[in-house]
């Protein structure tokens, strides 16, 4: 590509950022996240209620099976592996807490 094409492409990208007016790149807020969670819960409840009893039973069985598999995997781990998994979970929780605290209301 010629130098002119690169410059035009770069200007186009910059214009896209400015024309987006921050909409696509807006920082999430705590209230926005909470609202999204509430909407997701409501949507999930509506979806569950729209299922037939047979479909609900199948979904419950899949959830139970997934929990059993997770427990089997946990039980198959050595104590050292379990401790490492716990530590990774604690680290992830701390990072998430820090990110949450930095978010605007």
102 within some domain: no
What is the rounded CA–CA span in Å between residue 78 and residue 59?
Answer: 31
Q: Looking at the 3D structure of the chain, how many domains does it have?
A: 1
What is the rounded CA–CA span in Å between residue 48 and residue 3?
Answer: 57
Q: Kindly report, residue by residue over 56-74, the tens digit of the pLDDT.
A: 999 999 999 999 999 999 9
95 within some domain: no
Q: What is the DSSP secondary structure assignment for residue 105, as one 8-state letter?
A: -
What is the rounded CA–CA span in Å between residue 62 and residue 65?
Answer: 5
16 within some domain: yes
39 within some domain: yes
92 within some domain: no
12 within some domain: yes
Between CA 76 and CA 81, with CA 78 as vertex, the angle to 5 degrees is: 105
CA distances from residue 19 to 11, 14, 28 in whole angstroms, order as listed = 12, 9, 19
Q: Tokens 């959830």 belong to which residue?
A: 63
Which residues have a Cβ under 8 Å from the Cβ of 81 and sit 6 or more positions away? Answer: none
Q: Kindly report, residue by residue over 6-16, the tens digit of the pLDDT.
A: 665 655 655 66
83 within some domain: no
CA distances from residue 62 to 8, 42, 53 in whole angstroms, order as listed = 53, 21, 14
13 within some domain: yes
Task: Give residue 63's domain range.
Answer: 3-76
Q: Kindly report, residue by residue over 11-54, the tens digit of the pLDDT.
A: 565 566 555 555 555 788 989 999 999 999 999 999 999 999 99
> What pLDDT is stored for residue 26 in this prediction?
73
């Amino acid at each position: 590509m010629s130098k002119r094409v690169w410059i035009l492409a770069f200007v186009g990208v910059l214009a896209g950022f400015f024309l987006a007016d921050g909409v696509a790149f807006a920082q999430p807020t705590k209230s926005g996240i909470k609202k999204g969670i509430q909407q997701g819960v409501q949507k999930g409840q509506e979806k569950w209620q729209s299922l037939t009893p047979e479909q609900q039973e199948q979904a419950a069985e899949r959830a139970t099976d997934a929990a059993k598999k997770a427990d089997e995997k946990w039980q198959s781990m050595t104590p050292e592996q379990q401790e490492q998994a716990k530590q990774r979970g604690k680290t992830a929780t701390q990072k998430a807490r820090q990110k949450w605290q930095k978010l605007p209301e």
